[in-house]
A and B are shown apart, each in its own frame.
Chain A
Amino acid sequence: MNYFTDSLLAAFRLIISFDANIFRIVITSVTISITATLIAAVLAIPAGVSMALNSFTGKATLQHLLNTLMSMPTVVIGLLLYGLFSRLGPLGSWGLLYTPTAVIIAEAILIFPIMMNLTIAAVNSADPRLVPTLISLGARSYSLTVHVIKSIRYAILAALVIGFGRAIGEVGAAMMLGGNIEGFTRTMTTAIALETSKGEFELGLALGLLLLIIAFALNFTLSWLNKS
């Protein structure tokens, strides 16, 4: 048998045997991504709802800025935060560089504009009668935001899933800020990059397969959410 199929079989064996090394990496990856997603969600969802509900000067500019940030390369975020968190940087004394916290911050920043934009789109595509109805029934800024979020909850869940998917598949910022430290900041993506360059192809492949499974599960959830 050839190199690729041999490695694929070995990768399956690693997954089925619940290789401790692999699962530590998966757990690190998932924990970092979930935390980043939740932090971004707490900030981006209310921000998106209030931006969609209010009109103010500079709204169009802010929308352009968000669109730009959505397509910002992750290495650029990594680079900027590296400058801030490195020993000589302004936040160097916090000692965040090469910690999971740094990766979480980077990924939260990365997915914040995506989630905010998806929330804005969800509010804008909600029933046009929703907001006037709530206002006429006495909803004010806080209760209005809460009830709008409740009404578009499926679209918001979809935004969470998409944000998480973006975070778990991210490699540039995780590498630059996490430093790929084994058992600490080694995520699935950084591990794949490292193991492949080390020649441990089957380990990389096993992680890649798990990443695909997670992506599949996410997409499945997303289409299920869209249906309901």
Chain B
Amino acid sequence: MNSAYKLSNIKLEQQRKIILNIPQLTINSGQCVALLGENGAGKTSLINLLAFTTYANHGSIRLFDQAISSKLTPSQRRRIGLVHQLPYLLPGTVADNIRLALTLQGVKRTDIAALTLQVLNQVNLTELADQAANTLSGGELKRVAIARAIAYQPDILLLDEPFSHLDHRHVQQLEDSINHFAQQTGKTVIFSTHDRFQAQALASSTISLMAGKITDAPLLNLYHGQLNQHFFDTGKMMFHVTSTLVHARHLAVDPREIIVSPQPLQSSMRNNFSGRLTLIAEESNAIRLTIESAERFHVIISPEALLSLNLSLGDTVWLSFKSTAVTVF
């Protein structure tokens, strides 16, 4: 499989603060990748680097196995479509915006009208073609921005938080538009989100960002605090961990590694907490439980396990997990 992006030793600093630090990252082409992370984790910065609208202080990014020295060539630029979190539309109508993108990308004049119609049709916006761009609603704005980004048929579509601030109906329309693009062969979609479930619903793989670094840790049970020998103190709870990493500031617990029981368990597991069950939710063939202890825990169990545990909301349950289920970083 070819790689769409190959990042090595990327460091991005702004005002002497390290925004991104990525020693190595490869994104294969033809994939739909979700970029997961909390606000301020560096998702937008990474998207902008991948779009080559900003450049890193150190390191290099290869685009389709081509080294990028300073600026993209017009043909390289045409392979990338970018949709900002709050897209900026230029003055004029919806169709004007799409025509401008096609003109700037050097599409033949004779093809512009046909391509404009085609892309508007693709995102179901034909009826808005002649509407002024500054009169659109949030959901329409995003779809116009997607239409503008895919009008010139790029190979990569980058979307920064495409689903934020949208209601359910617009999220679905947007998902359809993105899926329509992603299903074409060889197209790569990379979108950032802070919503883990949105990521799992749409993406074939995820990249988790934490304070500018890529982490393998599951981000569902994520806590911040300080490591003190074999204990990680979040201020509310103490976790037993095996790592001796001195500068670890974050801790994550794999939601599939937590054992839920109605009574305290007698076992060798070092982490045992009790809490109140506040949510039972179905999530892609599994059940997600939310348990409020001093910190909030998410646990993923099978539907069969839920049946045999015979749980109801408000119950007090015990959580147990090994120190090895915990990742500190």
Q: Which of A130-152 contact B (CB under 8 A)?
A: 130, 132-140, 143, 147, 150-151
- Within 8 Å by CB of A135, from B53, B78, B87, lies B53
Would A140 and B74 count as touching, CB distance under 8 A? Answer: yes
What DSSP secondary structure best describes chain B's contact surface?
Answer: loop
Q: Determine the distance from Cα of A138 to Cα of B149 in the docked complex, in whole angstroms.
A: 10
Would A138 and B105 count as touching, CB distance under 8 A? Answer: yes
Nearest A residue (CB) for B84: A129
CB distance from B195 to the nearest CB of A (A): 23
Nearest A residue (CB) for B85: A129
Nearest A residue (CB) for B88: A129
For residue A134, which residues in chain B have a CB less than 8 angstroms away from its CB? Answer: 90, 104
Interchain Cβ contacts within 8 Å, total number: 50
Q: Determine the distance from Cα of A37 to Cα of B90 in the docked complex, in whole angstroms.
A: 28
Residue A127 interfacial (CB < 8 Å): yes
Would B51 and A127 count as touching, CB distance under 8 A? Answer: no
- The 4 A-B pairs with the shortest beta carbon distances in the complex, nearest first, are A129-B88, A136-B82, A138-B104, A138-B105
14 new A-B contacts, CB < 8 A, other than A129-B88, A138-B106, A147-B104, are A129-B86, A129-B87, A132-B51, A133-B90, A134-B104, A135-B53, A136-B53, A136-B80, A136-B149, A138-B101, A138-B104, A140-B74, A147-B90, A150-B91
Q: 28 pairs across A/B with beta carbons < 8 Å?
A: A127-B88, A129-B86, A129-B87, A129-B88, A132-B48, A132-B51, A133-B84, A133-B90, A134-B90, A134-B104, A136-B53, A136-B77, A136-B81, A136-B82, A136-B149, A137-B100, A137-B105, A137-B148, A138-B78, A138-B101, A138-B104, A138-B152, A143-B104, A147-B90, A147-B104, A150-B91, A151-B90, A151-B91
What is the interface of chain A, defined by CB distance below 8 A to chain B? 127, 129-130, 132-140, 143, 147, 150-151
